[in-house]
Chains A and B, each alone.
Chain A
Amino acid sequence: MKFLSRTEELILLAILKLPDKAYVVSIQEELNKMTGETWAIGALFVALDRMSRKGYVRSWLSEPTPERGGRRKRLYKLLPAAIDALNEVRKLKTSIWKNIPALSREKFS
């Protein structure tokens, strides 16, 4: 089985944190907050598109909202496959990191 990429993992987690209001802009804001870096909007479009084709997320259109010139939002929510994939990644990471002692720079300088 192929594991989620880091980007995919972060995006899925961002959607998880935003129940019922996950769309591109809010996801980007959440990611910026989570990582402290500015995410390019284009990268999100591509990743979200790919993940909906893989069956990780489902999307639907919202009612028109006034603050965006009366245009609809495409909202996203996670599908069971995404939860499985996230759990998989988590299990993998914890099992790997468990056996690694705290790292310090000194030994490697």
Chain B
Amino acid sequence: MTAPAHSSSSPHPPRLAERIFSRLFPDSEIFTTLGDLEEIFRNVAVEKGLRKARLWYWRQLFKALPHRLIGFLFIDMPMFALSLKIMGRSLRKNKVFSFLNIFALTLGLTCFLLIFFYTRYESTYDSFHNDYQRIYRIRLPDPRKPGFSAPLAPALESGIPETEYAVQLCHAFDPVVKIENQLYKSRGRFADENFLKVFHFPFRHSIDSPLAEPYAVVLTESSAARFFGPGDSIGKTLSFIIRGESCELTVTGVLADLPRNTHFDFDLLISFPTAEALPEFRALREALSYRLTATYIKLHKNTSVRDCEEKISGLLKSRSSGDISTAGIDCDLQPVTDIHLRPDNKDNSAVRSLTLYLSLGIIILIIACINYVNLATARSSIRMREIGIRKTIGAQRRQLVRQFMGEALIITGISFVLSLTLILFILPVFNRLLNIDIGLNLFLENSLWLETLGLVMIVGMASGAYPAVFLSLFKPVRILKGMALVSGTTGFRPSRLRSILVVIQFAVSVVLICVMLFIHQQVRYIKTMDTGFDRSNIIEAWAPRNSAVVKKRLLQSAKIMGVTAASNSISLSGRKNSGEEFMDIVTYVTDSGSPMDFRAHHIQCDGAFLDVFRIPLIDGRNFSDNLDESRSAIINETLARLLGPGSPINKRIQVKNWTEEEDERKDLFIVGIIKDFHHQPLTQTIKPLILTHTGENFMTLYAKVQGEDMAGTLAFIRETVLEFNPDRILPIGLLDERINEVYRPEENQSVLLLVFSTLAVFIACFGLFGLAAFTAERKTKEIGIRKVLGAQNGRLFLMLSRDFGRLCALANMIGWPIGYYFVSRWMANFAYHVPVLLWTFLLAGILVLAAMLVSSGTQIIRVARINPADILRHE
């Protein structure tokens, strides 16, 4: 029998979801339905992976919920109408409670829904193309191998039968557009003729096949307006400058502006034949093809991705020259919808932060649900009599459960409607803040509203379940005798449950505040940490041409204290390009024994580099611009340590540049050792670095300037650079700002956490406020008696707030270790981080305690100051 083996090896749908399904639909039909779902689940698992399949299964459950629950509520129409009426009354009777309930739920739901929409939006990039499921980007693991430089797309169309279209999009170094001597920045790309057939970017106007001929350009609506002003721009010409070469282009089409939710970011598309017609660019494109050109493929219907990947790998192998190992050139096809969140193979950070946001949303929602449970059980005494009478005249427990669940669902429903209205107002601001474009149409598409409704109902049920069960348990005789409130009679201790829930709420708040405080500290720390080089008042400017002349000219100005030129940015362009594969191989030839290989970053610079950045030499000498330094190298301390004991000065090393494909090594002699500085973001430890000297071929200029009149100096530098680099638009700015830009994600996370933790604490305080009001009300009589017997207001206050203080202490005890865990995990992203100090935890605790005292204090004071005569005169 093969059946058991089969079922044990293949994935099983989430058991919990299955159980909920069979509970929700308790007819016999559910078993066949579950079977169907399981089969599809397996298909999805095979096609898209287990994780996606599990998600799919849960989504089916959410979609089925609203239908079921509405049936559950309306099954008993007259009874339902009655309970609606009663609910309305109880809501009105207790305005403060109802307000607290609805407001906290609305806040929680709004928060959650915004995050939910946002994650949904982020994970559905590029899904507006027709047949987007069949469009892939070809991803090559090590594109530096030879054989990849020739364009891939034509070979795919002729060699792989699964291909419907293969198109390439070639980066063009953000070329400059010149119209009547006016320069414009552009994000131009070269695109194949079929590009706009694969990707759905609708035309406003166009001629037939606009990208077929050379020297044709397609603009987006807004770039057309920018270049030519309003009116029809088809047939107009613009000149276009790329790396010094220029050509005239004719506008053959105008696209509607790109939607935000696509990974493409061009604003003009140049026909691919144009790129072939530019000799210099062509050479560059062929040399760097792997980095400039993205190849997209659209497969025919019902083709296997895996087969196709194998065929493409085979094609690549046959194209690459025989002597190179073909081991690592398996390609894979990345779905076009995946590109935004996973721009390259390793980088998973976008997905991680989405998960983080979503879990924050869920946490806030849970806090809001807890509020409902707390307030509803606390209010139970008010509804005692109603329940007692209902039970004596024959209400069954099921009916009562249904009534209270219904109430919870309706209150969640009201909050849901309110939060949707709120979202309508918040969305424009939200979109502007995050630079995205979420509309309510997202909500209507893909039956997302059904899932959302399902989710809202789960929230309603989660909040309603306990109060419903608890309230319906009361024994009518006891209630009507007025003794049900004595704890222990029913076996339940609702007050203890309430305490536990409050502790959970505030423990979560403590965790959030801790994490927020640490992230805030860390961001400030990395921004102010000594990076080992002087970065104040340094202006970074790109000057790809004539850098020697520009440098001389800049030095003549009195405002500029020093200028140095380097091959690339001192911060090595942030987090990208900092991996192993972007490091040179340094071979150390020892006097005895075999040579040793190291990986090191490499910066080419001139003699002023160390002076401008004030990097101290430890040993040896600096480069001199007057000597022939073509065989000299300066290394950093880290590399010197790796090379081993004994002074490495005047020792020989061989360097192989990472951009070179051939195994070409250059002999260099070490002339100096510098103190380590952070040439990478602080997420990394200091890596080995070598500096070499070259007179020419610099990309970046650094000018150390005087502090005053920064704007004027910037303008002066820009003018000078542009004078020798005509027809270019070059980035220029303060180095400090450029470096801090790298930590933007952390800064955003810190702001986001600030908002969320504040909201979480706020919502939790709402619940506490309600609870305090309730406790105070229950204890008025006790307080009256105590006062008559001579208790002071202050002592009474202490007595009443002691309970909350205890809860707060407990919340901190639980919150701190959890907070510590998350903080240390987050900190592990950084090689350098602030010490995790106790006072931050204490601060978080004090903040939460203060929030608790403020929210409960007003109620307690009100009761403590009451005139005992008012309370006691009735008895």
Contact = CB atoms under 8 A, between A and B. Distances in A.
Given A42-B64, A69-B7, A61 B32 contact: yes
A67 B6 contact: yes
B40 interface: yes
B37 interface: yes
A68 B42 CA distance: 9
Contacts of B39: 25, 67-68
A80 interface: no
Contacts of A40: 447
A19 B6 CA distance: 26
A47 interface: no
Contacts of A25: 36, 39-40, 43
26 contacts: A24-B36, A25-B36, A25-B39, A28-B40, A36-B131, A38-B133, A41-B37, A41-B40, A42-B64, A61-B32, A66-B2, A67-B7, A67-B39, A67-B42, A68-B36, A68-B38, A68-B39, A69-B38, A71-B32, A71-B35, A71-B38, A72-B31, A72-B35, A73-B32, A74-B29, A74-B36
- Most B Cβ at <10 Å: residue of A61, A68, A70: A68
Nearest to A32: B302
Interface string A36-56: 101011100100000000000
A68 B33 CA distance: 10
Contact of B36 (A23, A33, A66): A23
Interface residues of A, number: 22
Contacts of B36: 23-25, 41, 68, 73-74
A74 B30 CA distance: 11
B35 A69 contact: yes
A36 B35 contact: no
Nearest to B35: A71
A38 B132 CA distance: 12
A19 to B, nearest CB: 19
Interface of B: 2-3, 6-7, 12, 29, 31-40, 42-43, 60, 63-64, 131, 133, 301-302, 447
A66 B42 CA distance: 13
Contacts, number: 56
Contacts of A73: 32, 35-36
A106 to B, nearest CB: 12
A61 B317 CA distance: 52
Given A41-B40, A42-B63, A71 B447 contact: no
A98 to B, nearest CB: 30
A61 B35 CA distance: 12
Given A42-B60, A42-B63, A66-B3, A72 B37 contact: no
B301 to A, nearest CB: 6
Contacts of B60: 41-42
B32 A74 contact: yes
A68 B35 contact: yes
Nearest to A25: B39
A65 B7 CA distance: 11
A18 B32 CA distance: 19
Interface string A63-88: 00111111111100000000000000
A67 B43 CA distance: 12
Nearest to B31: A71
A33 B447 contact: no
A70 B12 CA distance: 13
A44 B191 CA distance: 42
A71 B301 CA distance: 32
Nearest to A61: B32
Given A36-B301, A68-B38, A68-B39, A45 B33 contact: yes
A5 B31 CA distance: 29
Nearest to B1: A66
Contacts of B3: 66, 70
Nearest to A42: B63
Contacts of B43: 25
A70 B6 CA distance: 11
B63 A66 contact: no
A65 B32 CA distance: 11
Given A42-B60, A72-B31, A74-B32, A66 B7 contact: yes
Contacts of A42: 60, 63-64
B32 A33 contact: no
Interface in A7-25: 23-25
A71 B12 CA distance: 14
A51 to B, nearest CB: 16
- Which 5 A-B pairs give the minimum distances between C-beta atoms? A71-B35, A66-B3, A68-B35, A74-B32, A24-B36
Contacts of B63: 42
Nearest to A44: B36
A33 B7 contact: no
Nearest to B63: A42
A20 B2 CA distance: 24
A66 B39 CA distance: 11
A72 B32 contact: yes
Nearest to A23: B36
Nearest to A66: B3
Given A42-B63, A68-B39, 16 more contacts: A23-B36, A24-B33, A33-B302, A36-B301, A41-B36, A41-B60, A61-B32, A66-B6, A67-B42, A68-B36, A69-B35, A69-B38, A71-B31, A71-B32, A73-B36, A74-B29
A94 B60 CA distance: 38
Contacts of A36: 131, 301
A61 B28 CA distance: 11
A2 to B, nearest CB: 24
B860 to A, nearest CB: 52
A80 to B, nearest CB: 25
Given A33-B302, A42-B64, A71 B40 contact: no
Contacts of B34: 69, 71
B753 to A, nearest CB: 37
A24 B38 CA distance: 12
Contacts of A70: 3, 7
A38 B133 CA distance: 10
B24 to A, nearest CB: 14
Contacts of B302: 33
A42 B57 CA distance: 12
Nearest to B131: A36
B208 to A, nearest CB: 12
Contacts of B133: 38
Contacts of B447: 40
A78 to B, nearest CB: 19
Contacts of A61: 32
A74 B29 CA distance: 9
B728 to A, nearest CB: 42
